[in-house]
């Protein structure tokens, strides 16, 4: 987990999936230069901060378990993502049950499991009842629901036409910008 080092308190958070939410969905990427961050992402995160929310990325990175990406490279990518977007932290799951070496684990952090959100809630003393999980896939919505936060499905990545399983998010928006500018966000 990489943190930006900002002071924290008892605040709500917007948990954000990475690909399809903060940057374009491109399949596995292995270099920070390949992170195609949406032009609006930085402003969206600034607006979330102004509204009193932490902005925390929650991302499955099984490319590590598959041997495509080293954990060190992933951490560099996360630090770059924090610098470019103003995120408060990035939590990642490098595991996969069919992965290699120490990453071959049936863990409790890979979405739709809730390990990453629970860990962030503890680290940042997050106010769960006003927090949201935002993603473009069924696993994001299921993860948010299991963790007890509100859920938002975005159409900017896989979206509702490509759901792996039927889910009922609390909100559906075209992209992160329309969500953060909407009236849905209240503390
Ligand atoms: Zn994991």
Domain ranges of the chain: 2-180
- Which residue ranges in the chain fall short of pLDDT 70? 1-9, 186-187
Helices (H), the chain: 41-50, 71-85, 115-124, 138-147, 176-180
Task: Encode pLDDT of 34-65 as tens digits.
Answer: 999 999 999 999 999 999 999 999 999 999 99
In the reported structure, the alpha carbon of residue 116 is separated from the centroid of ligand 1 by a whole-number distance in angstroms of 8
Residue 187: its pLDDT value, please?
A: 58
Residue 5 backbone phi and psi in degrees, to 5? 90, 5
In the reported structure, the alpha carbon of residue 184 is separated from the centroid of ligand 1 by a whole-number distance in angstroms of 30
Classify domain 2-180 at the CATH class level. alpha beta
In the reported structure, the alpha carbon of residue 108 is separated from the centroid of ligand 1 by a whole-number distance in angstroms of 6
Question: What residues are annotated to the active site?
Answer: 17, 19
In the reported structure, the alpha carbon of residue 181 is separated from the centroid of ligand 1 by a whole-number distance in angstroms of 32
CB 35 within 8 A of CB 23: yes
């Amino acid at each position: 987990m990489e943190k930006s080092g900002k002071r924290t308190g008892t605040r709500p958070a917007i948990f954000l999936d990475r690909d399809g939410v903060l940057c374009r969905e491109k399949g596995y990427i292995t270099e920070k230069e390949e992170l195609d961050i949406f032009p609006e992402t930085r402003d969206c995160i600034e607006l979330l901060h102004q509204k009193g929310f932490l902005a925390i990325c929650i991302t499955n990175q099984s490319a590590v378990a598959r041997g495509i990406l080293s954990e060190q490279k992933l951490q560099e990518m996360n630090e770059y993502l924090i610098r470019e977007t103003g995120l408060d932290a990035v939590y990642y799951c490098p595991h996969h049950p069919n992965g290699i070496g120490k990453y071959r684990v049936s863990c409790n952090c890979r979405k739709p499991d809730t390990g990453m959100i629970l860990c962030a809630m503890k680290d940042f003393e997050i106010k769960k009842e006003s927090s949201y999980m935002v993603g473009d896939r069924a696993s994001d919505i299921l993860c948010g629901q299991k963790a007890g936060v509100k859920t938002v499905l975005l159409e900017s990545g896989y979206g509702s036409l490509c759901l792996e399983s039927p889910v009922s998010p609390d909100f559906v928006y075209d992209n992160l910008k329309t969500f953060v500018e909407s009236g849905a966000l209240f503390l």
